[in-house]
Amino acid sequence: MTALLSARGLAVGYGRRPVVSGVSLDVGPGSLLAVLGPNGAGKSTLLRTALGWLPPLSGDVLLFGQSPLRWERQQLARRVAWVPQAFEADGGFTGLELVLMGRAPHLGAWGLPGERDLSLARAALEELQIAHLAGRRTGELSGGERRLLLLARALAQGPELLLLDEPTAFLDLRHQVHVLQRVRARVEAGLAVVAVLHDANLAASVADHVLLLRDGGVLGHGPAAQWLSAGRLESLYGLPMVEAVAPGGARSFAPRWRP
């Protein structure tokens, strides 16, 4: 397997203090790695370092065989897309205009789209069932709708590697499932995905591998089926968990608590 993103003994953080260290991973085409852990465990920081916005504090990270710091931005943007947790949009752009910005790395400095770019953007909107947002100003949309537009933008960008920072945050249940279904379909078609997720059940249904981060280190890394269990999640979140198997065979996890 050729890894699109790989890390060896990686420590990431702001300034000099590592948030998390000792991360080693390989993400190849057609696989989805879910990153789980409590708030502040370094999940987003790991994505930022992988994209080259933060230098690694120690260890190595390689994107398509080269340090992310050395990639020319536009070259990299043609191959890697990122869905941030939130965006500070100037609310004046329309949904379609925002999604079309995903085509910017493939266009000149002016970003004038052609027919193909336009149809890719519209297809991405259709795929996420948000074609009705095309003409709406992003400033008027809800957090979940903006999220869906960012996801559509990443799909329109046509990357080989997709980095998702809590893609399901703010989404209703139907959209959570639908979005992850669409992402999973792209993974089956060869896309590599790293997704920061908070929902262990969604992770269990879409991830091939999981990376569990806690207390500045790696609690576990391996196949999802093996590493997602009530016991592991208990030590990950410091919360008693129960595991149930649904009639269809899918495993689900829930915190065990009394009011």
Task: Single out the residue of 259, 206, 203, 212 nearest to residue 233, CA to CA.
Answer: 212
> What Å distances lie between residue 39 and 19, 136, 167, 169, 236, CA to CA?
11, 33, 15, 13, 11
Q: Measured from the CB atom, is 91 or 238 closer to another protein?
A: 91
Residues that bind another protein (CB under 8 A): 48, 51, 53, 73-78, 80-82, 84, 87-97, 100-102, 104-105, 108-113, 118, 134-135, 139, 157
**Nearest distance in Å: CB 226, another protein:** 32
**Nearest distance in Å: CB 238, another protein:** 30
**Nearest distance in Å: CB 17, another protein:** 18
**Nearest distance in Å: CB 96, another protein:** 4
Question: What backbone torsions phi and psi does residue 161 show, to the nearest 5 degrees?
Answer: -130, 130
**Nearest distance in Å: CB 245, another protein:** 39
Q: Measured from the CB atom, is 88 or 258 closer to another protein?
A: 88
Helix H or strand E segment including 8 = strand 5-12
Q: Measured from the CB atom, is 81 or 210 closer to another protein?
A: 81
Contact between 63 and 71 under an 8 Å Cβ cutoff? The reply is: yes
**Nearest distance in Å: CB 76, another protein:** 7
Task: Single out the residue of 200, 257, 258, 205 nearest to residue 229, CA to CA.
Answer: 200
Q: Measured from the CB atom, is 110 or 257 closer to another protein?
A: 110
Q: What is the β-pairing status of strands 161-165 and 80-83?
A: parallel
Q: Measured from the CB atom, is 109 or 245 closer to another protein?
A: 109
Amino acid identity of 84?
A: P
Q: Which residues of 167-201 are buried (b: 16+ CB within 10 A; e: fewer)?
A: bbbbbeeebbebbbebbbebbeeebbbbbbbebbb
Q: Measured from the CB atom, is 27 or 100 closer to another protein?
A: 100
List, in sequence order, every residue forming a beta bridge with 242; answer none if it has no partner.
254
**Nearest distance in Å: CB 205, another protein:** 27
C-alpha torsion sign, points 233, 161, 87, 125: negative
CB atoms within 10 A of CB 66: 12
Q: Measured from the CB atom, is 52 or 202 closer to another protein?
A: 52
